[in-house]
């Protein structure tokens, strides 16, 4: 039996005209953190919500510097990304309680990078039964919640030093 997941927010991503502007840099330059879905801005790395998520709570941790290659990260940027990732995972576990989490980078177009010019690490919450990303979907647990509602739930935790 083949199941489908209704995710109309992904269509905007698929059909949108590619402006050439780095949307991650635009988020970092925005004056409206909520509208741009910026959860946390550190000195070297930041955490943003994915506007076109695969699952509810799909976040990205990015270096603040516009770079494409993982090997160009400085040691301090690597630590900052790791620290932001740990904080994001703790918050997701507390707020939306996933059964697991996928972490990963898509480096280059062949690896599936939708934006290959600005390095970003995906944090994708997973639930038992939503098996192996989207192509092989069993009983997928989809959070029926708008991005801004989830943003409002997550943001207070990102604003504290210790989210536990």
Annotated active-site positions, please?
120
State the residue for tokens 């409002």. Answer: 152
Closest CA to 96 of 76, 61, 120, 126: 126
DSSP, residue by residue, 44-73: SEEEEE-SS-SSTT-EEEEESS----GGG-
The token pair at 113 is 């990078």
């Amino acid at each position: 039996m083949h199941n489908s997941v209704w995710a109309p927010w992904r269509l905007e991503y698929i059909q949108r005209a590619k402006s050439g502007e780095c949307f991650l840099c635009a988020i970092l330059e925005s004056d409206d953190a909520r509208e741009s879905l910026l959860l946390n801005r550190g000195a070297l790395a930041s955490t943003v919500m994915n506007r076109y998520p695969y699952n509810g709570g799909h976040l990205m941790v990015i270096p603040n510097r516009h770079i494409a290659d993982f090997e160009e990260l400085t040691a301090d940027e690597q630590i900052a990304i790791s620290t932001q990732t740990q904080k994001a995972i703790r918050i997701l576990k507390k707020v939306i309680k996933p059964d697991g989490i996928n972490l990963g980078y898509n480096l280059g177009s062949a690896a599936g990078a939708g934006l290959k010019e600005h390095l970003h690490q995906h944090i994708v919450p997973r639930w038992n039964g939503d098996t192996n990303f989207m192509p092989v979907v069993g009983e997928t647990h989809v959070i029926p919640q708008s991005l801004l509602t989830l943003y409002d739930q997550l943001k207070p935790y990102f604003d504290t030093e210790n989210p536990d």
